[in-house]
Amino acid sequence: MFFPREMTEVELIIPSKDLVPVTKVLSGRGVFHQVDSAFLGLESLGPSTWQDKAANYSTLERRLQSIMQTLGLTEEQKGSTEFETIVDIESVRPAVDRIEGDVKGVGDQLGVEKKRLESLEAQLKQLEPISHLNFEVGSLRKSDHVHSILGVMKADTKVIERLDSIRVPHVLFELKRDAKDAVVWLLGSKNNSDELERAAKSAFLNPLTLPEEFSGTPEQVVEKTRKAIEESKQKIFELETQLGKLGGVHKTELQKLWWDAHVSRLIADAIARFGQLRHTYVVVGWVPTADMALLTEKLKQASREILIEALPTERSGHHDNVPVALLNNKWLRPIQELVTTYGRPSYGELDPTILVALTFPILYGAMFGDLGQGLVLMLVGFLSHKKIFMKGLSSLGLLLVYCGFFASIFGVLYGSIFGFEGHLIEEYLHFHFEPLWLSPLENILTILGFAIDAGIVILLFSYLLSLFNMARARDWAHFWFGHTGVVAIAFYFCFLTILNGLLGTTPIAPKIAAAISQLPLPFNILTPVFAFGVMFNGLFRNIAEGHRPLIEGGIVMYLVTAFMDLFESAISMLSNTLSFVRVGAFAVAHGGLSLAFFSLAGEEPTIGFWITLLIGNIFIIGFEGLIVYIQTMRLHYYEILGKFFHGGGMRFEPLRLNSSQEEA
Amino acid sequence: MASGVTGYAAISTKVRAMYSNLLTPQDISRLSDSPDFPSLISSLKNTQYGPYLASLKDNELTPRRAIQQLRRRLADSYSSVVQMSPEQTRSLVKQLFRYFELGNLKAVLRSIQTVSAWNPDVAPWDRVNEVLFPFGSFSTLPAQAMVEAGNVPAAVELLKGTPYESTMSFAMKRFSAEQNLFPLEVALDLDYWRRLWAEAKKLSGLDREAATKIVGGLLDMNNLMWAIRYRVYHKLSEEEIINYTLPFGFRVRDEDVRAIAAGGDIAAIVSRAFPSIADVNTLLEHPQAGLPKLEVLLKRQVIRQCTAAFIGNPFHIGLPLAFLILSDLEIQDLVVLIEAKSSAVQDDDFRSVLLKTSLLN
């Protein structure tokens, strides 16, 4: 629950005779993440023939796809059980050849006819704009003084303007234009024919090539072309009808052939990455430990002589090569999306999804505390999750529900409902609703101080999680001397006592800092000691990890850098701690914004009053709700996750026969 | 439609965090001190590129594979910026990302033209795939099928339904006549930049201002270098240069490009557009060596412009765009280092083309 799914490294030795059934089991269950183990094979056996087989299946699959495309058939994926064994290409080739023979002739004719139609339509499009002119089409080719280029170019005003801007004397007529093409006529002196030709060519103006058989005026040519187009369309219709009939005849057979070729290709691809020994194959990969027992049982059913070595992988230590399968809980999916946007946990690392699932809605609720608006947010989230309303936000629907829920709870604590607080509730809503805890607007400094205290608790918790992660990874150098290591945490405690000294008895002084200051510890000695530790953290890490040289660059430069490290640590501790003030500040701002709408609405409960408040509430839910969401996200990404979560895990991508199979 | 503070709060936070993970000029300088390729890679493993290089075993770590892995980080950055950017700017970011798909398309077409000269023992696709940018699910290119199609017209047929279909349909007539990829590549480049500029212009307010500045900076560099190269290297005519360049930009105006096309003083034009580049005349005395240096100087201008985007109001698309461009230029520096270290190039020969270290001065 707090970690990615436990993985087991699996090594299989498969007898050659059982290769395909075993691969079918591995690919069919969607739980096996393959590792390329071709390098484990014997080189003396030469290159794997499975790569060629995979290429052949791929070619066969594409041939079948091409036939199906010609017939207008779609590829239908089936269940992994609807597949016996990989197909023998030679045995299916006659069937494919036969169907292709039937289809190809008609398909090719259709292709040729469509090209002819396209060409005729292009000619018509070029000729229509000049159809009213009375001249001999052939004369374009025979002019003595005028160089003329009639053709089609891209219908892009900027390209046409560019052609028209050449310095050679010319005239450019744009005769016709549609979304894609423009018919233009470029005319100039015969003396400049080279320049004109170069300009036309470089502007990708494709000159009209009128067939020699077309003679007469444009009107006559247009008439002939239209007739040819009608004939061509009729022929295309006949050929398409013929293909439709062929599709009906061959549909079932083609679907089966394609599925067999498709699955055979996937299996051959997988086998090509196995290590090939003389009579056996070596397969390496990862399986979620929970799925291991069932997979082992199925593998044993597929091959009695298979050797299975399963090595459950502990989460401690470094595991860069272990794929990470996250828990697939639909209720946590939006939170998981938030986390994976920041980074995918690595195998040994805590998956912060559960923590974020708690802190995100709570911090959001604390900033947006209002019973009525929280319930509306919940409703919007629910409708969006069910794709009834605001479908585009459906992936965030559940997150809105959680945030709305906590906003409602804080609304009860703050005594706020649709912006009404205190006496306003009794005056306008006619019932009593006291804050269960406090009203942010009336206790501004108290809530700001409380927010800082809450921030300190969260930060300390994040530091502890970081220690936990580093201890699990056995990264002792960083555990003690990292930016979030023991020395840094000890310095943070000392820093809090300094902060307490600075803020003194002011209402925003964090109570936790005051409590720490009361501890019977010599902070005036500890503070410089741990400051020294933070300053030379890098040096201590180098000593612990055995890195040499211990100090890079000159000693003076190193001391300057070390001092800057200390300064930066202190500044970031201060900013991280005070960053949580925003939680209290937004709770206050929320009440303030509501008051602003009350001022606009006036005092009399007229229709205008209620409409203003309605608009105000919609604005607050939409606008402030979004800003609070961003602030909550910022707190998590910068202040919380950054402390202990590194990410960088490799995605678990199991072999699958059917692309619609769910991720394990 | 989210914009301003509401639209950019999340993405600007994320981009700022990612920006802080970019290598500093000092980092690049330290990396360039690595004695050889293995030690460079081992230093890189201690940077944010570490997780991308960790998946490669030592025996697989060739310079080409290492570069491919580094580019995966850029692809991931694009992917996360695309997902987080406000809806109205998403198509601009996607179009910027398409630059790498355009590169892949050109690589595929070039491979088809040259495949006959390759070692027949290695499947063409395997060789091509090694050099393609890892574009991932954003790709619309049927790259493998194109390579396997075996000839350019058949490969171009496969582009039906992609954003390249229309441009290619016009340019293919010239390819058929000339059997040269130049017109196809020019048409693709021009179309890419026109679309990118149009996307930037489609925006409004601060977004438009920031986008035209950042995109315009990149466009200026390309447009200027095209115009100069067409004139100096390819000796193209005025009308061809005009048609093969773009009439818009941020600092480089249409008049500048036309002046270059008409035979005007290139140094004066470059100095007017980029007053901070000194000694342009000297650079252009020997174009063969000078033009690559000019390109490096222009890229450094882009870096400065992108870095400046992080100062001031962060709630616009300028920040994500600047970050993505900086990430790309950082990888260009790393590619220089990898190639230099793996082929034991002398220090002086590669340090001068590093982009980011110029910020140290």
| pLDDT band at residue A221 using 50, 70 and 90 as cut-offs | confident
Cα–Cα distance, A300 to A311 (Å, whole number): 17
| Residue B208 · residue B221 · CB < 8 Å | no
Q: In chain A, what percentage of residues exceed pLDDT 70?
A: 94
What tens digit of pLDDT does each residue of A322-340 get?
898 887 688 888 898 888 8
Provide mean pLDDT across the span B257-277: 91
Domain range holding A196?
Answer: 135-216
A window 593-652, beta carbon within 8 A of B: 623, 626-627, 630, 633-634, 637-638, 648, 650
Q: Supply the pLDDT for residue A660.
A: 53
Span of A411-420, B8-17, B51-60, B303-312 with lowest mean pLDDT: B51-60
**A139 and A206 belong to one structural domain:** yes
Provide mean pLDDT across the span B23-38: 91
A291: in domain: yes
List CB contacts (< 8 A) between A621 and chain B.
none
Cβ atoms within 10 A of the Cβ of A120, count?
Answer: 20
Cα–Cα distance, B256 to B223 (Å, whole number): 10
Q: Are strands A280-288 and A33-35 parallel, antiparallel or unpaired?
A: antiparallel
A395: in domain: no
Q: In chain B, what percentage of residues exceed pLDDT 70?
A: 95
Q: Supply the pLDDT for residue A230.
A: 94
A455: in domain: no
List CB contacts (< 8 A) between A198 and chain B.
237, 239-240
The answer to whether the CB atoms of B237 and A198 lie below 8 A apart is yes
**A204 and A139 belong to one structural domain:** yes
- Is the pLDDT assigned to residue A481 strictly greater than 80? yes
The answer to whether the CB atoms of A648 and B262 lie below 8 A apart is no
Q: Supply the pLDDT for residue B279.
A: 84
Cβ atoms within 10 A of the Cβ of A569, count?
Answer: 19
Last residue of a domain, one of A272, A289, A312: A312
Q: Taking an 8 Å Cβ-Cβ cutoff, which residues of chain B contact chain A?
A: 5-6, 9-10, 13-14, 17, 51, 54-55, 57, 59, 80, 84, 123, 145, 166-167, 170-171, 173-174, 183, 187, 190, 194, 236-240, 242-244, 247-248, 258, 262
Q: Which of B145, B247, B258 sits opposite A158 (nearest CB)?
A: B247
Instruction: Give a three-class secondary structure readout of A288-344.
Output: EHHHHHHHHHHHHHHCCCCEEEEEECCCCCCCCCCEECCCCCHHHHHHHHHHHHHCC
List CB contacts (< 8 A) between B187 and chain A.
204
Q: Which of B166, B239, B248 sits opposite A198 (nearest CB)?
A: B239
- In 3D space, the residue among A471, A346, A360 whose CA is nearest the CA of residue A406 turns out to be A360
Backbone angles phi, psi at A189, to 5 degrees: -75, 145
Report the chain B residue with the minimal C-alpha distance to residue A319: B54
Provide mean pLDDT across the span A476-499: 91
CA distances from A610 to A54, A372, A423, A425 (A): 70, 15, 17, 14
The answer to whether the CB atoms of A180 and B240 lie below 8 A apart is no
Report the chain A residue with the minimal C-alpha distance to residue B255: A165
Instruction: Give a three-class secondary structure readout of chain B.
Output: CCCHHHHHHHHHHHHHHHHHCCCCHHHHHHHHCCCCHHHHHHHHCCCCCHHHHHCCCHHHCCHHHHHHHHHHHHHHHHHHHHHHCCHHHHHHHHHHHHHHHHHHHHHHHHHHHHHHHCCCCCCHHHHHHHHCCCCHHHCCCCHHHHHHHCCHHHHHHCCCCCCCHHHHHHHHHHHHHHCCCHHHHHHHHHHHHHHHHHHHHHCCHHHHHHHHHHHHHHHHHHHHHHHHHHHHCCCCCHHHHHHCCCCCCCCCCHHHHHHHHCCCCHHHHHHHHCCCCCCHHHHHHCHHHHHHHHHHHHHHHHHHHHHHCCCCCCCCCHHHHHHHHHHHHHHHHHHHHHHHHHCCCCHHHHHCCCCHHHHHC
A209: in domain: yes
Q: Supply the pLDDT for residue A471.
A: 87
| pLDDT band at residue A390 using 50, 70 and 90 as cut-offs | confident
**A247 and A208 belong to one structural domain:** no
- Is the pLDDT assigned to residue A46 strictly greater than 70? no
- In 3D space, the residue among A269, A325, A262 whose CA is nearest the CA of residue A78 turns out to be A262
Distance from CA of A461 to the nearest CA of B (A): 23
Report the chain B residue with the minimal C-alpha distance to residue A628: B6
Complex ipTM more than 0.85, yes or no: no
The answer to whether the CB atoms of B145 and A62 lie below 8 A apart is yes
Cis status of the peptide bond prior to A510, with omega within 30 of 0: no
The answer to whether the CB atoms of A650 and B55 lie below 8 A apart is yes
**A11 and A81 belong to one structural domain:** yes
Q: Which of A202, A321, A648 sits opposite B243 (nearest CB)?
A: A202
Q: Which of A153, A320, A626 sits opposite B54 (nearest CB)?
A: A320
Cα–Cα distance, A489 to A495 (Å, whole number): 9
Q: Determine which of A154, A194, A626, A650 to mutate to test the interface with B (most B C-beta atoms within 10 Å).
A: A154
The answer to whether the CB atoms of B170 and A156 lie below 8 A apart is no
- Is the pLDDT assigned to residue A605 strictly greater than 60? yes
List CB contacts (< 8 A) between A341 and chain B.
14, 80, 84
Burial class (CB in 10 A: 0-12, 13-18, 19+), B190: buried
Q: Supply the pLDDT for residue B160.
A: 87
The answer to whether the CB atoms of B9 and A634 lie below 8 A apart is yes
The answer to whether the CB atoms of B183 and A204 lie below 8 A apart is yes
Half-sphere exposure of B66 (CA within 13 A, CB side): 26
Q: What DSSP string runs through A175-214?
A: EEE-SSEEEEEEEEEGGGHHHHHHHHHHTT-EE----TT-
- Is the pLDDT assigned to residue A615 strictly greater than 80? yes
List CB contacts (< 8 A) between B183 and chain A.
204
| pLDDT band at residue A43 using 50, 70 and 90 as cut-offs | low
Mean pLDDT score of chain A: 86
Residue A552 near chain B (CB below 8 Å): no
The answer to whether the CB atoms of B187 and A204 lie below 8 A apart is yes
Report the chain B residue with the minimal C-alpha distance to residue A341: B80
- Is the pLDDT assigned to residue B2 strictly greater than 60? no
Distance from CA of A432 to the nearest CA of B (A): 36
Q: Which of B57, B84, B166 sits opposite A180 (nearest CB)?
A: B166
- Is the pLDDT assigned to residue A318 strictly greater than 80? no
**In terms of residues, how long is chain A?**
664
Provide mean pLDDT across the span A394-399: 84
Provide mean pLDDT across the span B270-290: 87
Span of A337-351, A374-388, B221-235 with lowest mean pLDDT: A337-351
A146: in domain: yes
- Give the N- to C-terminal CA distance of chain B in Å, as an integer: 42
Q: Supply the pLDDT for residue B1.
A: 44
List CB contacts (< 8 A) between A633 and chain B.
10, 13
A274: in domain: yes
**A147 and A69 belong to one structural domain:** no
Q: Supply the pLDDT for residue A663.
A: 41
| pLDDT band at residue A642 using 50, 70 and 90 as cut-offs | confident
Backbone angles phi, psi at A88, to 5 degrees: -85, 115
- Residue A308 pairs in a beta bridge with A12
Q: Supply the pLDDT for residue A431.
A: 86
Between A364 and A606, where is the model more confident?
A364
Distance from CA of B150 to the nearest CA of A (A): 14
Cα–Cα distance, A95 to A257 (Å, whole number): 9
Distance from CA of B93 to the nearest CA of A (A): 18
Q: Supply the pLDDT for residue A72.
A: 87
Chain A to chain B Cβ contacts (< 8 Å): 84
Span of A45-59, A300-314, A560-574, B280-294 with lowest mean pLDDT: A45-59
Cα–Cα distance, B34 to B43 (Å, whole number): 8
Cα–Cα distance, A462 to A637 (Å, whole number): 12
- Is the pLDDT assigned to residue B290 strictly greater than 60? yes
Report the chain B residue with the minimal C-alpha distance to residue A62: B145
Residue A284 near chain B (CB below 8 Å): no
The answer to whether the CB atoms of A627 and B9 lie below 8 A apart is yes
Q: Which of B145, B166, B240 sits opposite A202 (nearest CB)?
A: B240
Distance from CA of B85 to the nearest CA of A (A): 13
Q: Supply the pLDDT for residue B121.
A: 67
Q: In chain B, what percentage of residues exceed pLDDT 90?
A: 47
Distance from CA of B278 to the nearest CA of A (A): 32
**The domain spanning residue A195 has which CATH number?**
3.30.70.2750
DSSP A474: T
Cα–Cα distance, A636 to A352 (Å, whole number): 10
Total domains in the fold of chain A: 2
Q: Supply the pLDDT for residue A368.
A: 94
Last residue of a domain, one of A291, A312, A333: A312
List CB contacts (< 8 A) between B14 and chain A.
341, 637
Q: Which of B9, B174, B238 sits opposite A167 (nearest CB)?
A: B238
| Residue B167 · residue B189 · CB < 8 Å | no
The answer to whether the CB atoms of B243 and A162 lie below 8 A apart is yes
Q: Supply the pLDDT for residue B208.
A: 93
Residue A177 near chain B (CB below 8 Å): no
| pLDDT band at residue B119 using 50, 70 and 90 as cut-offs | low
DSSP A664: -
- Is the pLDDT assigned to residue B68 strictly greater than 80? yes
Provide mean pLDDT across the span B343-349: 85
Distance from CA of A78 to the nearest CA of B (A): 24
**A38 and A79 belong to one structural domain:** yes
| pLDDT band at residue A505 using 50, 70 and 90 as cut-offs | confident
What tens digit of pLDDT does each residue of B130-183 get?
888 887 767 778 888 898 888 899 999 889 888 898 899 889 988 988 889 999
Cα–Cα distance, A293 to B275 (Å, whole number): 71
- Is the pLDDT assigned to residue A620 strictly greater than 50? yes
Distance from CA of B184 to the nearest CA of A (A): 10
- Is the pLDDT assigned to residue A41 strictly greater than 90? no
List CB contacts (< 8 A) between A195 and chain B.
237, 239
Backbone angles phi, psi at A353, to 5 degrees: -55, -45
Provide mean pLDDT across the span A270-292: 89
A191: in domain: yes
Q: Which of B51, B55, B244 sits opposite A202 (nearest CB)?
A: B244
Q: Supply the pLDDT for residue A664.
A: 34
Report the chain B residue with the minimal C-alpha distance to residue A625: B6
